[in-house]
Amino acid sequence: MKSFLVTLSFLFPLLSIASTHQHEVGLFLGNTAMNGDNYSTYGLDYEYRFSSLDHKIGAFVFAESFDEHGAETRIYGAGVGYHPMEHLRIIFALGNESNSHHQANLVRLGASYSFFLTENFALAPTAELDVAEKDSAIVYGVTFVLGF
């Protein structure tokens, strides 16, 4: 399975359609790994890419949710996305995590790579590290991206 994924990762850039959008909306489906537990996670994000900077810098907002031992945890925030290559996004964001048990500020670092299947629709494998006051979490999954 691992060799299949490595092979696929080399083929996808060849299949990727060139496409840069000023606006991108994403639906995230994935997993949050924290303190030895895994939680199904879903979320939304929106990014505005600045045309004056050749679409290499964008500002974005995000919201995610997962069920942590019966308490719905919500994460939301805003950040900056850097696009050193057309489909690659590296992010830095500040946010807040809250549920009925606690609330904490967090810093999010991450990356995604968009594989455009059509001119306006992409699948983007996503990996992020959230660092809160006492905990850290790895968030990973796939973002379904609509660009316009």
- Predicted confidence at residue 21, as pLDDT, reads 86
- Tell me, yes or no, whether 22 lies in a domain: yes
At 127, which CATH number?
Answer: 2.40.160.20
Residue 1 domain-assigned (yes or no): no
Please write the tens of the pLDDT for every residue from 38-62.
Answer: 999 999 999 999 988 888 999 999 9
The string over 77-108, giving b where at least 16 C-beta atoms fall within 10 Å of a residue's C-beta and e elsewhere, is: bebebebeeebebebebebebebeeeebebeb
Q: Find the mean pLDDT for residues 29-41.
A: 96
Indicate whether 96 belongs to any domain. yes
**Is residue 66 domain-resident?**
yes
Residue 128 has pLDDT above 50, yes or no: yes
pLDDT at residue 29, as a whole number? 98
Q: What range does the domain containing 111 cover?
A: 17-147
How would DSSP label each residue in 49-108?
Answer: E-GGGTT-EEEEEEEEEEEETTEEEEEEEEEEEE-SSSSEEEEEEEEEEE-SS-EEEEEE
Beta carbons of 20 and 44 less than 8 angstroms apart: no
Any domain includes 131: yes
Say if residue 91's pLDDT is above 80.
yes
Q: Is residue 6 part of a domain?
A: no
The total number of structural domains in the chain stands at 1
pTM of the model: 0.85
